[in-house]
Amino acid sequence: MTILDGKKVSTELLNELKLKIDKLDKKLGLAIIWVGNNEASNIYIKNKLKRCEELGVIGKLYHLEENATEDEVINLIESLNNNDEINGIILQSPVPDHIDIIKCFNKIKPSKDIDGFSNISMGNLVLGKPSHISCTPKGIMKLLDYYHIDLDGKNVCLINRSLIVGKPLFNLLIRRNATVTMCHSHTYNLSEHTKNADIVISAVGKPKFITKEMIKFGAVVIDVGISRVDGKVVGDVDYDNVLDQVSYITPVPGGVGPMTVAMIFENLLEKID
């Protein structure tokens, strides 16, 4: 069994990116828009701003109150679109229910759409055209490649159909000739799908949701889920109990999360390259 060490891989990638960033004539600028006070978002944002500082990127946080209007968010996005000091814009998810996040994503200028959630970015991904790729799916693919995990012809069970993870990851996997089953909250007999999969990718957000009985021997398990149990960060997978069942597995924390953050800066630099 091999641990897919996202912390180690992301550190290597960030070191390579820093060498490239240091050679630029001007500093890169990353704007993060945060609407509301979601606790998980606060943690993610702190990590992103910390990485900005380490890499020599100017990270700017624009924090709007929970009751901010959709027009206020859009006006801020459009202002940042026209700001030459800002090379990339992130609208932190989730946003309050009264704001249409898809509409807001599509107000971000394509050249600054670091998260790759706009219709243009997603459409290019589906069509196989060059585009920014959503950071979590891109980070997962980088991690699989780093450990030389072959996807060609493999059966993949993907438990998520969101815009942020499931849909872009589905397209990346089939692009690499995997056979992908996309499962979700309305899927019947989920364990039948997981037990037949060579690779199981779970982004559900329920602790210990994936048990040993749901995984076939020798499977690869990618845990994207994040939950807090008794103050401790845990994933979707019953980690300790599945270790002797799998060939590769990501830990939580230290697996997919660090890769997601690294991909933000890879995407940011791509717009300059």
pLDDT tens, position by position, 228-273:
888 898 999 999 999 999 999 999 999 999 999 999 999 999 865 4
48 counts as catalytic: yes
Tens digits of per-residue pLDDT, 69-110?
999 999 999 999 999 999 999 999 999 999 999 999 999 998
Tens digits of per-residue pLDDT, 152-174?
999 999 999 999 999 999 999 99
Tens digits of per-residue pLDDT, 105-123?
999 998 899 999 999 999 9
- CA dist., res. 7 & res. 253, Å (int): 9
3-state secondary structure the chain: CEECCHHHHHHHHHHHHHHHHHCCCCCCEEEEEEECCCHHHHHHHHHHHHHHHHHCCEEEEEEECCCCCHHHHHHHHHHHHCCCCCCEEEECCCCCCCCCHHHHHCCCCHHHECCCCCHHHHHHHHHCCCCCCCHHHHHHHHHHHHCCCCCCCCEEEEECCCCCCHHHHHHHHHHCCCEEEEECCCCCCHHHHHHCCCEEEECCCCCCCECHHHCCCCEEEEECCCEEECCEEECCECHHHHCCCEEEECCCCCCHHHHHHHHHHHHHHHCCC
What domains are there in the chain, each with its CATH number?
26-110 (3.40.50.10860), 135-257 (3.40.50.720)
- CA dist., res. 257 & res. 6, Å (int): 7
Write down the catalytic residue from 107, 112, 113, 115: 115
Write down the catalytic residue from 48, 107, 112, 138: 48
- CA dist., res. 86 & res. 89, Å (int): 7
CB atoms within 10 A of CB 250: 26
pLDDT of residue 42: 85
User: What dihedral do alpha carbons 207, 213, 217, 219 form, nearest 10°?
Assistant: -30
